[in-house]
Amino acid sequence: MAGHVAVRLVFVESDGSRVPSRIDWTAQQKQRVRAEIDEALRWWERNLPLAQLRFSVEEVTLFTGYEPIDMRLADEGLWIGDALRDLGLQGDNYFALAYEAADQLRKTNDSDWATTIFVVASGGSNGGRFADDYFAYAYIGGPFLVLTDEVGPYQQSDLAAVAAHEIAHIFGALDQYRAARVPCERRSGYLDQPTSNSQSGNCLLNEPSIMIEPVGSFNHDHIDPAALAQIGYRDSDGDGIIDPLDTTPELRLEAELAATNRRPSYRGSARDLAFPTMQQSATTINRIARVEYRINGGPWQFAMADDGSYDSAEEGFTAVPPLYDGTSRLEFRAVNTVGIASTITQTSVSISGVGLEPVYTIDAPPVSASPILTLSLQAAPGVAQLQLSSDPAFADAPWQLFQRDITVQLAAPGAYTYYLRFRDSEGLTSPSYPLLLRYQPPMPHIYLPLVRR
């Protein structure tokens, strides 16, 4: 359970087309349920601080010809299939439709994961239970979970706790209460971890947990280590990055001679390698954040993504390093969205006919008391333009005529990194130079009168 999770909250409404409709949702009921679901999702966000977890919720009412609360578990496909087809999906296999609905929701929200929460209005029926005594359940690993608005033997105000328990199933956690009869050695989740806190058997752990008793555990933020590991929340090396996010990029590089400006261009690809798993397909939700290179140990330069942006787990890139005459050592690396870099790939190249590297001098105040800073520049003859940006890719930063003094306006007190590069009259671009700019307004002085007695 990590990253961005898109949730479709479905209020299932009977329309009377197959059996008489006897229960209808009210706006007040929907509002109460939505608040409880939001509380359950925020609970997981709060209790998994290393997971970079964020839920987004899309709320919708979908119709079925059945009265769901009167149905048995074996007949769930009838009303769930109706509801999913009300989304415009086609097909008879309701599980396939549920996966398709989740995939569409994930793509629409550009999320890492997606799931569906079906909520059924019970109208007080059987204490808020389905016909065969179910009131809340989920399938391990998804694609959906089901709740009644009155959650059976629990109180309506306990819906958040019960929902939090069921959401854990979606991400691989198994039940641990005694009646579930889950043995200690039963494994689950991306990390294939045992249920070592189960009450069924002589397990290694005996800790309070949301997977044993939802309400008290919800109120006291109790999640045991076994459940945490089953949902992927384990940091084996203690580096502050949970294992499924602790991935390493791989970079492949090939060189080809550029047709212009006598500078070689480099093409390659980078991909994020998933954390290994024993039982499931290896998956990473990390993305390549950037590919960068440096020349002779200088500052890192930004390589351009072939499709214009770094936004997926695999990216092609192109770089035309701003080289000058002589032999240069180049180092390339890819960095993913959690800041882990690939092994550095090194190469060297000798070129001639470009000229010697110009000397640039950039003077900036170490700390400014004003949000408007002045940079003083000195450059070799022939420099025609400059480019200044807070983006290392210089996106949307126009080239401007070179001038010795340029100003930068900072939005608020703090430290900012800007990047500056130059271009000469022949179109040759310099390396980019990172600039650390600090704005710190002066502290106000308060004068108190001195009183003698």
Question: Going residue by residue through the chain (453 aa), what tens digit of pLDDT does each one get?
Answer: 999 999 999 999 999 999 999 999 999 999 999 999 999 999 999 999 999 999 999 999 999 999 999 999 999 999 999 999 999 999 999 999 999 999 999 999 999 999 999 999 999 888 899 999 999 999 999 999 999 999 999 999 999 999 999 999 999 999 999 999 999 999 999 999 999 999 999 999 999 999 999 999 999 999 999 999 999 999 999 999 999 999 999 999 988 876 556 889 999 999 999 999 987 789 999 999 999 999 999 999 999 999 999 999 999 999 999 999 999 999 999 999 999 999 999 999 999 989 998 999 999 998 999 999 999 999 988 899 999 999 999 988 999 999 999 999 999 999 999 999 999 998 999 999 999 999 999 876 666 666 555
**Cα separation, 117 vs 358, whole angstroms:** 62
Is residue 117 a contact partner of residue 9, using CB atoms and an 8 Å limit?
A: yes
| pLDDT attached to residue 253 | 95
Q: What is the mean pLDDT of the chain?
A: 94
| pLDDT attached to residue 127 | 87
| pLDDT attached to residue 261 | 67
Q: Mind listing the pLDDT tens digit for each residue in 386-411?
A: 999 999 999 889 999 999 999 999 99
Q: Report DSSP state, residue 444.
A: P
| pLDDT attached to residue 383 | 93
**Cα separation, 187 vs 57, whole angstroms:** 30
Is residue 263 a contact partner of residue 322, using CB atoms and an 8 Å limit?
A: yes
Domains of the chain: 4-171 (3.40.390), 248-351 (2.60.40.10), 361-439 (2.60.40.10)
**Cα separation, 427 vs 261, whole angstroms:** 8
- The torsion angle over the Cα atoms of residues 187, 188, 189 and 195, rounded to 10 degrees, is -70
- State residue 122 phi and psi, 5-degree precision: -100, -25
| pLDDT attached to residue 380 | 83
- State residue 183 phi and psi, 5-degree precision: -70, 155
| pLDDT attached to residue 448 | 62
| pLDDT attached to residue 396 | 84
**Cα separation, 246 vs 339, whole angstroms:** 10
What's at 196, amino acid-wise?
Answer: S
**Cα separation, 315 vs 250, whole angstroms:** 11
Is residue 433 a contact partner of residue 299, using CB atoms and an 8 Å limit?
A: yes
| pLDDT attached to residue 9 | 98
CA angle, 236 as apex, 232 and 237 as ends, to 5°?
Answer: 140
| pLDDT attached to residue 63 | 98
Question: pTM of the predicted model, to two decimals?
Answer: 0.89
| pLDDT attached to residue 124 | 86
